[in-house]
Amino acid sequence: MTIQVCHLITDLDRGGAERSLVNLILGSDAAQLRHEVVCLIEPGPMAKPLVEAAIPVTTLGMRRGKWSLTGLLRLIRHLRTTRPAILHTWLYHADLVGTAASWFTPSEVLLWNVRCSDTTSASADRSLHFLVRTLSLLSGFPRAIVVNSRRGKIDHQALGYRPKAWAEIPNGVDLSRFRERRSERAALRARLGLDPGGIVIGLVARYDPMKDIDTFLRAASLFAQRARAQFVLCGVGFSDDNRSLTDAIAELGLNGRVVLLGPQPYPEDVYPALDVFSLCSISEGFPNVLCEAMACGIPCVATDAGDSAEIIGDCGLVVPMRDPQALAQGWQRLLDQDSEAVGARARARVTARYSLERMCDDYRSFYQSIVVNEVEASP
């Protein structure tokens, strides 16, 4: 039996949820699951590998942050035409639009996918708070809600989410793409303009208050006082035209020590160039970057946000949030250990728990169980 799944998501820009969706689709067995993606707005760069794989990608033509009755009607017509077995919505805006559409297309099973954790912080805007509160009232409509982190489930239960069922499916990492490359470290550092022989500590994220880059920079300032090191910031917003970032670097005396790489299309070439990977977020769900770095055999130090501690286990260190001194000390503690041994344990942990193959198998089994239960429940 081949199950047709329509995935509804805001867009296919570069992000953790989008990357997980693309990985799921490309890693699935086409004989068992037939996927398509519908985006609320223009798809974005991560649509390219799907289109190249002949996966249908459609846009509803909405504007970011704007409700559109026309877009909703387009979705309803699309679902009535394609008649998928499952409508799986990803992220809050798609959850709302998909739920509204499902009231007029009851033939498919509605699933939500919750990807983040804390939405109550001051950095989250009012419209997001209102949207999450609205969705909590609607959370009984989907057949189940998929979460990729335990913390995400706990936080959304506290927000009033009461679905018929929860399904926890952690993200998966492509172990053939993200792998140990110690023999290539010098070449990778040369390509990125990094010191071939010094300590390199890095972070891959987007420039966002939730990532607490200030704590990373303050920890770097403390660490730089006692060790020769470079600090790599990689991702959207980490570039020389970010004035607030460059001013902070200068104020902390880190000019020449911090390397701003901006977004990199191949992060698998960044992680192996590092001695330590760091994440200092104040809010996370399931941070993909930790699994990617660990799969590359790079020891990690992360703040205790989301499922970071669960991912790292005994293969790195977890430190308190907003504590630059604890973060800097964590870097030193890892550097004092046998990094190759710690890195090997980290990759083994990801291989056992967070492989892409395992994630795809979990989704396949989940979809099949949903469809079978639906058939058995039919009169």
CB 218 within 8 A of CB 248: no
Q: What is the pLDDT of residues 301-338, one digit of tens each?
A: 999 999 999 999 999 999 999 999 999 999 999 999 99
Q: Do 199 and 225 fall within a single domain?
A: yes
Tell me, rounded to whole angstroms, the distance of Cα 240 from its chain centroid: 25
Residue 177 lies in a domain: no
Q: Do 37 and 156 fall within a single domain?
A: yes
The enclosing domain of 314 has a CATH number of 3.40.50.2000
Q: Do 362 and 273 fall within a single domain?
A: no
**Residue 65 pLDDT:** 81
Q: Do 368 and 243 fall within a single domain?
A: no
**Residue 92 pLDDT:** 95
Residue 206 lies in a domain: yes
Residue 125 lies in a domain: yes
CB within 8 A of 116, min separation 6: which ones?
Answer: 152, 283, 284, 285
Which ranges of the chain have pLDDT less than 50?
122-123
Q: Do 111 and 232 fall within a single domain?
A: no
Q: Do 109 and 8 fall within a single domain?
A: yes
**Residue 379 pLDDT:** 53
Closest CA to 37 of 24, 60, 56, 20: 56
Range(s) of the domain holding residue 367: 3-172+356-377
Q: Do 168 and 190 fall within a single domain?
A: no
Tally the domains of the chain.
2
Q: Do 193 and 68 fall within a single domain?
A: no
* pTM reported for the whole predicted model: 0.90
Q: What is the pLDDT of residues 60-72, one digit of tens each?
A: 999 988 889 999 9
User: What is the spatial distance between Cα 276 and Cα 56, in angstroms, rounded to a whole number?
Assistant: 39
CB 322 within 8 A of CB 215: yes
Q: What is the pLDDT of residues 237-275, one digit of tens each?
A: 999 999 999 999 999 999 999 999 999 989 999 999 999
